[in-house]
Structure 1
């Protein structure tokens, strides 16, 4: 099984929905019930840097680690994610295994 990280971006269309603690609680319980949840956290304020400029990227608001058989299987974990459901971007990236 592969490991993935879901990165929530700060570009939601419905901020109230994206920050609803009840929705996040339901979503985290759903992840726990799957047996494929490996943790996560909100992310505080910071800055993105690129040579010669700063802040060009959409800030991240949090991350979730999951396990899934494939990227397609990992996409199923978007359902119920308050950032995704509020019209925001959730980026899914595979965490490569060290060999």
Structure 2
């Protein structure tokens, strides 16, 4: 994970009151985002696709924003992964993610 950025509002409470659980979350993120085979940008694009397929508005927005900010991911790159979301998760999930993408990129 880059710079210990968490999008869950509850993480600040864990950091303050339950540092052991917070540290575990950091370790889990570091373990998942290793970049051993797939680079971090590819993993972030996967995260965008997964949140889009799950139709999680808040997570889609946060993943897109962090990808654009941290990794200079472009709107076209995001649209490429959203095409796969259209194919695998359907039109409602796809159009919701496209709406969010255009909202945050304008």
Output the TM-score relative to the length of structure 2: 0.30
Q: Per residue, is there more strand in 1 or in 2?
A: 1
- The higher-RCO structure (CA 8 Å, 6+ apart) is 1
TM superposition score normalised by structure 1: 0.31
Higher helix share: 2
